[in-house]
Amino acid sequence: MPSARRNRWGLIATYAVLALAAAFVLFPLLWALSASFKGPTDVLASPPRWIPPTFDFSNYTRGLFAPKFLRYIGNSLLVVAGALVVSVGLAVHAAYAVSRFRFRGKDALLFIIWSTVMIPGVSIIVPLYLLAVDLKVYDTLFVVIIAYSAWLVPTLIWLLRGFIETVPYELEESALVDGCSRLKAFYVVVLPLLRPGLAAASVLVFVTIWNDFLLAFSLTLKDENRLLQVGLYSFVTELGIEWGPLMAATIGSTIPVVLAFALLQRQFIQGLTGGAVKG
């Protein structure tokens, strides 16, 4: 087989696999979009229809634009912002320390930090619940922020550590010679060069918190303290599932994630590849 024909068939096969993967990912979203415009009878119709006979826009009024749903979005954004400041702030300093300093037991400490990532989240729900109750912070957004931050810090340390190691140490030495302290050299020289890595860490924090259900469900009880992913569960009632409003709210909940990744896509990919070079 000539080389050009072989390359053409290889390209066709590549695009075919990518098209199948895209269809596999987009099919649930397209079906959710279709169901968000259907009435209760059309959702359960057999055989199912992609295009409803009549479009029911009230699902978005009851789901996406309901006051309680907007409150859920506000709670989620507040938790994301708080966890972002706490987790990235701690992780970037810890990553700098393990990247630039040598001290006894560093490798063992890194191994212990990384091993915490392997612990299933469901196994620590009960201890977290009891600790939150004892500290009288249960059913508050504060405990949710702290819990998510503690969960994300180990992963962020390893991500940012690899990226910090790509920054030439000579730049810091020049700043130290000019009279900067070690901490000032970090803030003035190193930190501005970590913007792609920080963007990657920010997207990781945002997507993790936005998509998680178990932790937010276990640490909050009142409706006014629920996060978005827990609020979606409120459409599952004892009388049945409100498919139309649920799908409308689900479609709306994906928009912030898509926008965040679209705006920070270049920095996210650059940060991941930069962190993978020497991680």
32-53 pLDDT tens trace: 888 888 888 888 777 888 888 8
Whether the CA torsion 173, 175, 178, 180 is positive or negative: it is negative
Task: Give the model confidence (pLDDT) of 187-237 as tens digits.
Answer: 888 888 888 888 888 888 998 898 888 888 999 988 889 998 888 888 887
Minimal CA–CA distance to 266: which of 186, 181, 203, 174? 203
Domains and their CATH numbers in the chain: 59-277 (1.10.3720.10)
Check if the beta carbon of residue 115 is closer than 8 Å to that of residue 241: no
Q: Give 95's contacts (C-beta < 8 A, 6+ positions apart).
A: 156, 157, 158, 159, 160, 161, 163, 164
Tokens for 105, please give them: 């037991």
Q: How many CB atoms neighbour CB 99 within 10 A?
A: 19
Considering only residues 257 and 275, tell me which one the structure prediction assigns the higher pLDDT.
257
Task: Give the model confidence (pLDDT) of 102-143 as tens digits.
Answer: 888 888 888 888 888 888 878 888 899 999 999 999 999 999
Q: Give 158's contacts (C-beta < 8 A, 6+ positions apart).
A: 95, 110, 113, 114, 275, 279
Whether the CA torsion 134, 138, 144, 146 is positive or negative: it is negative
| Residue 271 predicted with pLDDT over 70 | no
Residue 278 pLDDT: 44
**Cα–Cα distance, 253 to 206 (Å, whole number):** 13
pTM across the whole model: 0.81
**Cα–Cα distance, 225 to 33 (Å, whole number):** 27
To which residue do tokens 């299933």 refer? 120
Identity of the residue numbered 228: L
Residue 269 pLDDT: 66
Q: What number is the average pLDDT over the span 169-180?
A: 84
Q: What number is the average pLDDT over the span 256-266?
A: 76
Share of residues in the chain with pLDDT > 70 (%): 92
